[in-house]
């Protein structure tokens, strides 16, 4: 699957529907087998997984020993709130109330690409997390990517 690119702002209506921005909709049009919405593991946002990516993750989860208590707890929490969805003919995405409440989404929404999936944020929370001063992004980049990028030329 080709990486999804971009950050897009839009609004959510009172029924939990979001009109997908045209540039993002064009990228998602190549994905014809549907999507999964789920809670993020680390942040107060929702993740939109293309079904092909979701299937690969399910294969990995299926390898876990369900008689291992930690694995069982992890699977339960990871799968909490998961919904299979499709983008309707009008180009809208329907988000369930429990996921909207989890992500504290009000009216303004940000769709942010995360390589092979999309994070869906409340705009204010997204701005806070992207602009947080606690993390020096240069230091983080060096720590995470420094040794693995020797041959990249970056």
Give the dihedral sign, CA 119/81/18/10: negative
Can you give the pLDDT at residue 150?
A: 57
Q: Select from 105, 106, 136, 95 the least CA-distant residue to 43.
A: 105
Predicted TM-score (pTM) of the model is 0.88
pLDDT value of position 1: 61
Q: What is the pLDDT of residues 59-104, one digit of tens each?
A: 999 999 999 999 999 999 999 999 999 888 899 999 999 999 999 9
Q: pLDDT per residue over 11-35, tens digit each? A: 999 999 999 999 999 888 877 788 9
Q: What is the pLDDT of residue 134?
A: 76
Is 121 within 8 Å of 45 (Cβ atoms)? yes
3-state secondary structure of 116: coil
In the chain the domains, ranked by start, together with CATH numbers, are 7-123 (3.40.1550.20)
Question: Per-residue confidence at 153, pLDDT binned at 50, 70, 90?
Answer: low
* pLDDT value, residue 85: 93
Handedness of CA 27, 31, 34, 39 (dihedral sign): negative
């Amino acid at each position: 699957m080709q990486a999804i690119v971009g950050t897009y702002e839009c609004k959510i209506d009172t029924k939990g529907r979001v009109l997908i921005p045209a540039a993002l909709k064009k990228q998602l049009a190549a994905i014809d087998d549907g999507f999964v919405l789920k809670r993020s593991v680390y942040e107060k946002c929702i993740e939109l997984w293309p079904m092909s990516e979701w299937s690969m993750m399910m294969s990995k989860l299926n390898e876990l020993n369900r008689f291992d208590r930690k694995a069982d707890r992890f699977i339960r929490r990871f799968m909490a709130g998961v919904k299979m969805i499709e983008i309707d003919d009008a180009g809208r995405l329907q988000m369930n109330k429990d996921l909207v409440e989890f992500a504290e989404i009000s009216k303004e929404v940000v769709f942010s690409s995360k390589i092979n999936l999309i994070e869906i944020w409340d705009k204010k929370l997204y701005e806070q997390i992207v602009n947080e001063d606690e993390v020096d992004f240069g230091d983080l980049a060096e720590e995470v990517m420094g040794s693995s990028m020797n041959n990249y030329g970056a």
